[in-house]
Structure 1
Amino acid sequence: MNETAHALGAARTLWELVDRRAALTPHRPVLLQEGRTVTFGELRDRSERAAAGLHAMGVRPGTVVAWQLPTRIETVLLTVALARLGAVQSPVIPFYRDREVGFALRESKAAYFAVPGEWRGFDFTAMAERLGARGVFEAYGPLPDGDPAGLPAPPVSGTDVRWIYWTSGTTSDPKGVLHTDRSLIAGGSCLAHALHLSADDIGSIAFPFAHIGGPDYLVMLLLYGFPAVLFEKFALPEALDDYRRHGVTTAGGSTAFYSMFLAEQRKRPGRKLIPTLRLLAGGGAPKPPELYHAVVREMGCALTHGYGMTEVPMITMGSPDDSQDDLAHTEGRPPAGMEIRIVDGEIRLRGEAVCKGYLDPAATAAAFDGDGFLITGDLGHLTESGHLVLTGRAKDVIIRKGENISAKEIEDLLHTYPGVGEAAVVGLPDDERGERVCAVVERAPGAADPTLEELTAHLRGEGLSVHKLPEQLEVVDALPRNEALRKVLKYKLRERFA
């Protein structure tokens, strides 16, 4: 990390980081989207005007504001405006629906809820009204505007909880993860340090900005002073024109993104898909070693993969100067300040990037050991060089395209279908998605075998988000169980149907 980036990384708050970068390079671009450009100076000034407009609406330091918005310039401006006010933000992934959104609004006690109105055929405002959300306002276009002269002083503490991110663990309901400005800055600094980027780079944000990776990437842009192209909807080959027009040098997101780029490259072998691209980077899902080698060989760029989670946005990251063996078979090394402890094969973490806990105090107490290490539930080991190798997950969670999916939530809903006796949901390896969702159901006595179409229609009707729908259905006479407690042996299902 260069000296300027290192100095900026010491900022106490996200707003302080924005303000210091704007003072250094006010005219350099930071956000590029659909012919629009926002400079670092404009990011600060427009966000502060939006903060004044929000303040006039009643948003104060500590006010909880939920937002469910696509990856857009306005979304970044809103999140920086809320950081200027010292509000508590609760980002919600755009493809979540009534079940998850209602839970997040209730648990966070959000006083305001920003939505995009009708977006991609779904009416978010109508959903907010169904859920009885408070303070609903649309933030797809112009944001609230006001005179910054009337604003209170910016927040100065970086260790107060100002972010609530949502994750689905092994239970039906999400968990509210508590972050501070400093924990997010530490995560973004880890990413920036590992990737060896510079002010000459041009990045890209093709994943939901509401994901924990959103502030990770924003912090990286602020530390190094380079821009990113934003994609409200990512699809290939349609997005390639923007990558090429802007000369993107670093792209990625998760394993699914690598696979999509590789598939496009294979349509035109011998011609580099994005001429300026030198690095693919991401995390959030398992990375098959063969996929790493195929990308490097066929796309002519480096690939670095990392390990993070909602509770710790960046734990380890591969670096372009790592060996090919380490890049293919490990998740990289932790930065200075991230302690990794392996206890009985399970990974535990302590450091500034680790969250403060959960909204539920009982969940917080269960998640940390007596030495203050977060118990991740993931399994792995460290190599002699300090690289982390993941070997599995103790949690019963499926990671599809970088998003955590609770198997139990789907199982509970499958049990409400008349044609299902018992059900188990597992994640199976998938080159494109990381994992795909497979439902294995026992035949109900006297009922016809359900079809995948029938079950997905039922789950949709129950309000399950589209990204959680099973992509594979297997109907069996009996689920494999152990002899003691008759617990379903999911590893046998994975072995049988992978």
Structure 2
Amino acid sequence: MNDTAHALGASRTLWELAERRAALTPDRPVLLQGDRSLSFGELRERAERVAAGLYGMGVRPGTVVAWQLPTRIETALLSFALVRLGAVQSPVIPFYRDHEVGFALRESRAEFFAVPGTWRGFDFAAMARRLGAKGVFEAYDGEGLPDGDPAVLPPPPAEGTSVRWIYWTSGTTSDPKGVLHTDRSLIAGGSCLAHALHLSPDDVGSIAFPYAHIGGPDYTVMLLLYGFPAVMFEQFALPDALEEYRRHGVTVAGGSTAFYSMFLAEQRRRPGGKLIPTLRLLAGGGAPKPPELYHSVVREMGVQLTHGYGMTEVPMITMGSPDDSAENLASTEGRPPEGMEIRIVDGEVRLRGEAVCQGYLDPAQTEEAFDENGFLVTGDLGRLTADGHLVLTGRLKDVIIRKGENISAKEIEDLLHRHPAVQDVAVIGLPDEERGERVCAVAEQAPGTAALTLAAVTAYLRAEGLSVHKLPEQLEVVDALPRNDTLRKVLKYKLRERYSGTVK
């Protein structure tokens, strides 16, 4: 991290960070979207006007404001206006509907709720009315944001250690958890990302995931630290998005493993030329990365790939760096930054540091999540290498116990990702009266390849040296694995629900 970025990273609050960056490079762009752009100076000035408008509506320091908005320049402006006021904001992923949104509004006790009106054919304002939400207002392109005179505003927050953010875990079989963050925890997470990637003011990034995800502030902190812009994508799909990547000369792209796979698949449709001429780096996290995917991206796309490890509770834990060895980039999640402590207890990853959340809205969940030494218990399995890189080996809930033997689903998945007929795969354990659990592989077939069969898959895994007791006993071939709408993580619980009743 350069000296300027290091100094900015010591900012007490996100508003202080935004002000300091605006003073340094007021005319440089920070956000690009279509034909529009927002400079660092405009971010500060327009956010203050929006803050004044919110103040006129009754929003005060500590007021809880929920917002469920697409990835737009206006969304960032509203979020920074709330930062300026010292309000508590609760971002909600735009793909959530009545059940999840109602839960978030009730649990956070939101006094205001910003929605986009109708977006992608869904009427968010009507949903807000159904839910009985308080203080509903629409924030959309153009004149939708509140506006006022900054002279009415109280001073900005002086410290960044109070809880001012409530993020929501993507609940699967149960209700989501409200995760409590501070400005300082978000700055620490973004600093980790920025430090590892070795970026410069000449870079152009991209935000192709929901800004309401914990990755939103993570990425924005990086822009503020280094003073470069990012292209925002309200809807991400390939090949449609390629024009914007090329038009703005994006140098850094990604989001998660699924994004790498999409870029790679598009590159394979266009052999012989570079998909995005200016692109030099794919980076992201949020889901396991098969080593073979790393090698394929580097070989076929001609760019570097650095992958990291983060979660809603800790937005950035470790990150690969472009100067890491190919072996480390392929098979590890990178190293933690200074200030992030990683402890492995009985194979489980535990964390302590400034980027770690303050806990959950539910005090009982907070008590359960931290051990007696103040370390967050992640539920992830892993080990640290001799040089401090973290290797994730799976999740406690993703260990298949077959006839009393523990089997790592990730180990089998990594091997199957090398199979030429496998486009993507998830390995799950299914209930079995005789074995306790049986190993089931659910795969997407790669286009133009011979049909996958269980016999062919097990023969391949045997040839790769996989122990016999780990071989799948069931194979399901699907058109598409079920995924969430944020970082496109595979939803294994849906696969277990779908196939638990099957007998092979």
TM bin (shorter chain): 0.7 to 0.9
Answering whether residue 263 of structure 2 is matched by residue 261 of structure 1, we say: yes
Give the whole-Å Cα distance in 1 for the aligned partners of 2:489 and 2:285.
22
Where does residue 373 of structure 2 map in the other structure? 371
Pair 1:190–1:275, CA change in 2 (3 A) = same
Note closer, same or farther for the CA distance 1:477–1:124 as it changes in structure 2 (3 Å cut). closer
Query: 1:254 and 1:110 mapped to 2: Cα distance?
Result: 30
Matches within 5 A, 1:354-365: 354-365=356-367
Aligned equivalents of 1:388 and 1:131: distance in 2? 43
Aligned-partner SS, 2:213: coil
Query: Could you tell me which of 333, 348, 370 is aligned with 1:331?
Result: 333
User: Are the counterparts in 1 of residues 256 and 284 from structure 2 also a CA contact under 8 Å?
Assistant: yes
Aligned match of 1:295: 297
The normalised TM-score by structure 1 is 0.82
Shift of 1:157: 1.1
Counterpart CA distance in 2 for 1:343 and 1:430 is 35
Cα distance between partner residues in 2 of 1:304 and 1:191? 10
Shift of 1:168: 3.8
Q: Deviations over 1:353-393 (max 9, x none)?
A: 00000000011011111111101111000000100000111
1:108–1:473 CA distance, 2 compared to 1 (3 A) = closer
Which amino acid counterpart does residue 324 of structure 1 have in structure 2?
A
Measured in 2, the distance between the counterparts of 1:467 and 1:97 equals 20
Do 1:280 and 1:303's aligned partners in 2 also have CA atoms closer than 8 Å? yes
* CA distance in 2 between partners of 1:93 and 1:110 (Å): 15
1:90 counterpart residue number: 90
Could you say if the C-alpha distance between residues 230 and 471 of structure 1 is closer, same or farther in structure 2, counting changes exceeding 3 Å?
farther
In the alignment, which residue of structure 1 is the partner of 2:203? 201
Contact 2:258–2:489 (8 Å) recurs in 1? no
Query: Which moved further from structure 2: 163-172 or 35-44?
Result: 163-172
Cα distance in structure 2, aligned partners of 1:7 and 1:347: 30
Q: For residue 229 of structure 2, what is the aligned residue in structure 1? A: 227
Q: 1:384 to 1:152 in 2, by over 3 A?
A: same
2:287–2:489: 8 Å Cα contact kept in structure 1? no
| Residue 61 of structure 2 is aligned to residue 48 of structure 1 | no
Question: Could you tell me which amino acid in structure 1 is paired with residue 117 of structure 2?
Answer: G
Alignment-mate amino acid for residue 154 of structure 2? P
Report the counterpart of residue 353 of structure 2 in structure 1: 351
Secondary structure, in 3 states, of the residue corresponding to 1:61?
coil
Q: Secondary structure at the match of 2:310?
A: strand
Alignment CA distance shift 1:306-1:117 (3 Å): same
Residues 285-329 of structure 1, C-alpha deviation per residue, up to 9 Å, x if partnerless?
111111110000000000000000000000000000000000000
CA gap 1:152/1:168 in 2 versus in 1, 3 angstroms = same
Equivalent residue, structure 1, for 2:154: 152
The 3-state SS of whatever aligns with 1:207 is coil
Quote the residue 1:81 is aligned against. Answer: 81
Contact 1:348–1:373 (8 Å) recurs in 2: yes
TM-aligned CA distance change 1:9 to 1:474, over 3 Å: closer
Q: After TM superposition, list the pairs within 5 Å mapping 1:155-174 onto structure 2.
A: 155-168=157-170, 172-174=174-176
Tell me the matched-pair count: 428
Partner of 1:237: 239
> Residues 50 and 477 (structure 1 numbering): CA distance in 2 closer, same or farther, change over 3 Å?
closer
**1:318 & 1:431 partners in 2: Cα distance?**
30
Partner Cα distance (1:34, 1:476) in 2: 46
Letter in 1 for 2:22: A
Structure 1 residue aligned with 2:252: 250
- Match for residue 186 of structure 2? 184
Whether the aligned pair in 2 keeps the contact of 1:250 and 1:280 (CA below 8 Å) is yes
* TM-superposed deviation, 1:276: 0.4
In structure 2, the CA distance between the partners of 1:478 and 1:472, relative to structure 1 (3 Å rule), is closer
Q: What's 1:216 paired with?
A: 218
For residue 390 of structure 1, what is the aligned residue in structure 2? 392
Instruction: Give the gaps of 5 or more residues in structure 1.
Output: 400-406, 408-423, 433-451, 457-464, 480-495
Shift of 1:267: 1.1
Q: Is the 8 A contact 1:205 1:230 kept in 2?
A: yes
SS of equivalent to 2:295: helix
CA offsets, 1:258-279, max 9 Å, x none? 0110111111112000000000
| Partners of 1:82 and 1:474 in 2: CA distance | 42
Distance 1:269 1:369, change over 3 A: same
Structure 1: distance between partners of 2:166 and 2:342: 24
CA contact (8 A) 1:47 1:78 kept: yes
Q: In the alignment, is the contact (CA less than 8 A) between 1:118 and 1:125 conserved in 2?
A: yes
Structure 2 contact 286–489 (Cα < 8 Å) conserved? no
Where structure 2 has 5 or more consecutive residues not aligned to the other structure, the ranges are 400-408, 411-427, 429-437, 447-477, 483-487
**Pick from 269, 272, 276: which aligns with 1:270?**
272
User: Which deviations, in whole Å up to 9, do the C-alpha atoms of 1:176-210 show, x marking residues without a partner?
Assistant: 00000000000000000000000000000000000
Separation (CA, whole Å) in 1 of partners of 2:322 and 2:441: 30
Q: Distance in 1 between matches of 2:380 and 2:441?
A: 15
SS at 1:380 equivalent: strand
Note if 1:116 corresponds to 2:98.
no
The corresponding residue for 1:27 is: 27
Q: Write the distance in 2 (CA, Å) between the matches of 1:476 and 1:172.
A: 19
| Structure-to-structure mapping, 1:454-473, within 5 angstroms | 470=494
Contact 2:114 2:137 in 1 (8 A): yes
Q: RMSD of aligned C-alpha atoms?
A: 2.7
2:299 aligned with 1:283, yes or no?
no
CA shift at 1:140, angstroms? Answer: 1.5
TM-score w.r.t. length of structure 2: 0.81
- Preserved CA contact (<8 Å) 1:259 1:431: no
Residue of structure 1 equivalent to 2:319: 317
- The DSSP-based 3-state class of the residue aligned with 2:49 is helix
Q: Which residue identity lines up with residue 119 of structure 1 in the other structure?
A: W
Aligned mates of 2:45, 2:33 — CA distance in 1: 18
- Displacement of 1:394 in angstroms is 1.6
SS of the residue 1:198 aligns to: coil
CA distance in 2, matches of 1:175, 1:337: 26
Contact 1:169/1:396 (<8 A) preserved: no
For residues 294 and 279 of structure 1, what CA distance do their matches in structure 2 show? 14
Between 1 and 2, higher relative CO (CA 8 Å, sep ≥ 6) is seen in 1
- Note if 1:12 corresponds to 2:18: no
| SS, match of residue 305 in structure 1 | strand
CA shift for structure 1 position 239: 0.4
Rounded Cα–Cα distance in structure 1 between residues aligned with 2:170 and 2:389 = 27
> SS of the counterpart of 2:382?
strand
C-alpha contact (below 8 Å) 2:12/2:160 kept by paired residues? yes
Q: Contact (CA 8 Å) 1:288, 1:431: kept in 2 or not? A: no
DSSP-derived class of the 2:316 partner = strand
